[in-house]
Amino acid sequence: MQISVYLDESGDLGWKFDAPYRQGGSSRYLTIAAIVINHDKRHILKRLMKDL
């Protein structure tokens, strides 16, 4: 069985916590999303994204 793994992250490119956020400092949040799916079921993801 083959699987496909899709991973995405959203957040600042660096870490700078000594300055306030939006004034040169980094956000305190990082979002990570992942999905693991059977390789032969990838078409379901395409349909899902199309419907969004």
Please state the domain extents for the chain: 3-51
pTM over 0.85: no
| HEC string for 35-49 | EEEEHHHHHHHHHHH
pLDDT of residue 28: 77
pLDDT of residue 1: 84
pLDDT of residue 37: 94
Contact between 32 and 9 (Cβ < 8 Å): yes
Cα-based distances in Å from 8 to 32, 33, 35? 6, 5, 9
Cα-based distances in Å from 4 to 11, 30, 39? 24, 23, 5
pLDDT of residue 33: 95
The sign of the torsion formed by the CA atoms of 36, 42, 46, 48 equals negative
Residues of the chain with pLDDT under 50: none
pLDDT of residue 52: 79
pLDDT of residue 25: 82
